[in-house]
């Protein structure tokens, strides 16, 4: 198995000839470190893209990746609607609508489960700084 960090929460996973992406956000601030030079075209071979939630730093580059390949995207209904508005091929968007959704993709199985995003409040930001 080969795992490549794409920045923020993004990963490219290669295993037994299969490739999938998780939250492939590439468009980072030019001051972000470490520098992530991967471009959407370099990820076009991914069969599946999994989006954990609909924030811009998880899905912004997905339409560009989809335009360059044949990836199917699995995400929430809200994220699917956002991607469709941004020009993503609706026929390849799969809205995951229930906790416990699972699918087999040959060499691996993906399962969705409910979670909550961290709350960005003043104490958290202060501790992080």
C-alpha span between 68 and 14 (Å, rounded): 18
* DSSP label at residue 128: H
Range of lowest pLDDT (62-66, 102-106, 118-122): 118-122
Question: Percent of the chain, pLDDT > 90?
Answer: 36
pTM of the model: 0.84
- Residue-range domains of the chain with CATH: 2-128 (3.60.15.10)
C-alpha span between 25 and 14 (Å, rounded): 17
Query: Residue 116 — pLDDT band, cuts 50, 70, 90?
Result: low
Q: Provide the terminal-to-terminal Cα distance of the chain, rounded to the nearest Å.
A: 35
Report whether pLDDT(92) > 90. yes
Reference 7, options 19, 18, 31; nearest CA is: 31
Higher pLDDT, 31 or 118: 31
Q: Are 75 and 93 in contact (CB under 8 A)?
A: yes
């Amino acid at each position: 198995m080969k795992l490549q960090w794409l920045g923020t929460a993004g990963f490219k996973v290669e295993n037994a000839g299969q490739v999938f992406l998780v939250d492939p956000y590439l468009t980072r601030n030019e001051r972000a470190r470490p520098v992530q030079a991967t471009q959407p075209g370099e990820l076009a071979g991914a069969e599946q893209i999994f989006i954990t939630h609909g924030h811009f730093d998880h899905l912004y580059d997905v339409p560009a990746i989809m335009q360059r390949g044949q990836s199917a995207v699995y995400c929430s209904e809200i994220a699917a609607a956002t991607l469709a508005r941004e020009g993503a091929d609706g026929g390849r968007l799969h809205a995951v609508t229930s906790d416990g959704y699972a699918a087999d993709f040959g060499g691996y199985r993906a399962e969705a489960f409910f979670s909550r995003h961290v709350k960005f409040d003043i104490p958290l930001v202060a501790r992080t700084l």
